Structure 1
Amino acid sequence: MQEPLRETIRKVILVLLEASRKTQFIENEYIKSKTNFASEVIIGVLKQLAEKELIILEAGGVIVPSRINLVEEALRYGIPVDKASLYLDWRDFEQLSSRYLEAHGYRVYRGIRLPPPRGFEIDVLGLGPRYTIVVDCKHWSPGYSKKWKLKKAAQEHLERTQRLAKRLWLVARRYGEELRRAKTLIPVIVTLTDPGLRYHEGVLITPITLFNNLLLNIDAVVEELGVGIK
C-alpha cells in the first residue's frame, strides 16, 4: 500500500477514534470537515474499515462498535500506541492490557473483587503456567510525572497482591477453580504514558507501549529483579 493512502487511512481512523469518545454514530460530513478529504475518498476508506468489521456503515455515517478494535487497526497503520491509546477510557485500557496477556497465552480474568474486611479489587489477572500477572491499570493523563503518587500506588498494589496470594482459595471458588494453580504472582502497574519509573518495592511498572516487551522478557525480568509472591 502506498504511503499517501496509508496516511489517508490513518487520518480517518484518528477522527473516528476522537469522535467515538462522545458518540457511537459519526456522520460522514463530520469526518469530511475534520480531514478535508473528498467524499469519495472518505467513503472508500470507510468501506475498507467496514469490510474488516471495524465499523458499521449507516445512512450518512458510521457506527464504531468497538474502539479497542479500531485502536489495534491504528497500530497496524503505524500510529504510535501512545497516541492511539489516548483515545481509550479506562475500560478500553483494561481490555488492551488483557489482549496483550491473551496474545502471550495467559488466561485472563478482569474485575476480580473480594469484599472487606481485607478485601481487594484486581483490574486484570493473567494466569500462566509459570507466572500469574496481576495488573493494576493507571490511565493517567499524558505528561504525568508525580513519582510519589506512582510509588504510593505501587505500594498499595503490592499489598493488594499479597492479600490475593493469601486468599486465592476464595478467589478460585468465586471465579474458577483453575485459579488454585496460580504460581508466583507478579504485581504490575500498567500506565498510559511513560512515567520513567520501571520498578518500585517489588512491583513492575510499565507504560502500555512496553507491556508487550515486558511479557516477552518476563523470565529475565523476574530473575534480575527477584520479583514475585508465592
Structure 2
Amino acid sequence: MLLKYRCARQAYVHPALLARAVAGMAEQVTVDEFCSASGIAARSVAKGVTEFLLARGIGRVDGATLCFSCSDRVKAAMLAIGAGCDPEHVSQTLSWKDFEGLASQVLSSLGYRTYTNVRFTKPRMEIDVVGVDGGFAVALDCKHWKKGNLSAISAYCAKQAARAQELVRRENTITQAVPAVLTLHAERAMSAGGVPVIPVSRLGSFLADVRRFLPEVNVVTRQGPA
C-alpha cells in the first residue's frame, strides 16, 4: 500500500528525530528502508518525519519511494541544529559529498559554472568545489571541525589560500579567486588570514554578495593576494 503524503499536516518533529532522519535520507529510499537506516522504528513516526521535511521543500515523493539529494541532507541537518541538536553529532551523519552537493547547487543557482574535486599534482592539492563566473572564481572546501579549534581553522585557511593561488596559476581563464571554507559548526561567519569561514546556513547570502566583500577578504590574483 502506497503512503500518501499531506505535506502541510506535520507541524512539529522532535529535534532528535530530525538528527536521526539525516542518516536515512538516500537518493531513493522506501519508508521501510528509511526506518532501518535512520533507526526510527515506528513506521507512523517515520512518515511524520518525512512529511515534516517534505513540507519544507526537503526531498520529494516518486511513487512508492522518497528521493533526497545531497543538499536535502544538509538542509535537514541545519533544521536539526536549529532545533537544538548538537552540531558535532549531526555532522557525523553527513559526508563531504553532501556539502559539495549543496555548495554546487547554490553556486549554480547564482549563475556559476561549478566543478567538484578539482585536483592538482606537483604540488598535490584538491579543492572540493570551484564556482566560476567569467574570470572570477570562488574556491570552497568543506570541513568538519571540533568547536573552538581556532588554531586548526587558521592553519586550514592558510592551506586553502595556497590552493586558490594554484588554481589561478594553472587556469588561464581565471584572473581572481576567493578562497573560502564551508563548515556546519560555525554559528556566524568569520575569517582567518582573510579567508572567510562560512556556516552552511549563510552560504547563499555570502555568495550572492561575495563581490561586495572583496576589499575585506583574501582575493588571489595572478600577482598574488590583493
Q: With structure 1 as the length reference, what TM-score do the two structures score?
A: 0.68
Distance 1:110 1:29 in 2: 28
Q: 1:39 to 1:213 in 2, by over 3 A?
A: closer
Indicate which of 100, 104, 107 corresponds to 1:101.
Answer: 107
1:224 and 2:216 correspond: yes
Higher relative helix content? 1
Task: Tell me whether 1:162 sits opposite 2:154 in the alignment.
Answer: no
Pair 199,45 (structure 1): closer, same or farther in 2 beyond 3 Å: closer
Structure (1 or 2) with the larger CA radius of gyration: 1
| Equivalent runs, 1:50-89 vs 2, <5 Å | 54-55=60-61, 66-69=69-72, 71-72=74-75, 80=82, 86=91, 87-89=93-95
**1:122: how far off?**
1.1
TM-score by length of 2: 0.69
1:27 aligns with 2:27: no
Task: Give 2:142's match in structure 1, choosing from 116, 121, 137.
Answer: 137
**Shift of residue 185, structure 1, vs aligned partner:** 0.8
Amino acid at match of 1:131: F
Q: Is the 8 A contact 2:15 2:84 kept in 1?
A: no
How far apart are 1:124 and its partner, in Å?
Answer: 0.5
Q: 2:116 is matched with which residue?
A: 110
Match in the other structure for 1:187: 179
CA contact (8 A) 2:73 2:98 kept: no
* Residues 139-171 of structure 1: per-residue CA shift (max 9 Å, x gap): 235xx2110011000111111211222222xxx
The CA deviation at 1:16 is: 3.2
8 Å contact kept, 2:16–2:80: no
Offset at residue 13 of structure 1 (A):
6.1
Range with greater deviation from structure 2 (126-135 or 79-88): 79-88
* Ranges in structure 1 where 5+ consecutive residues have no aligned partner: 169-179
**1:173 is matched with which residue?**
none
Q: Residues 196 and 217 of structure 2 are in contact (CA less than 8 Å); yes or no, is this contact kept in structure 1? A: no
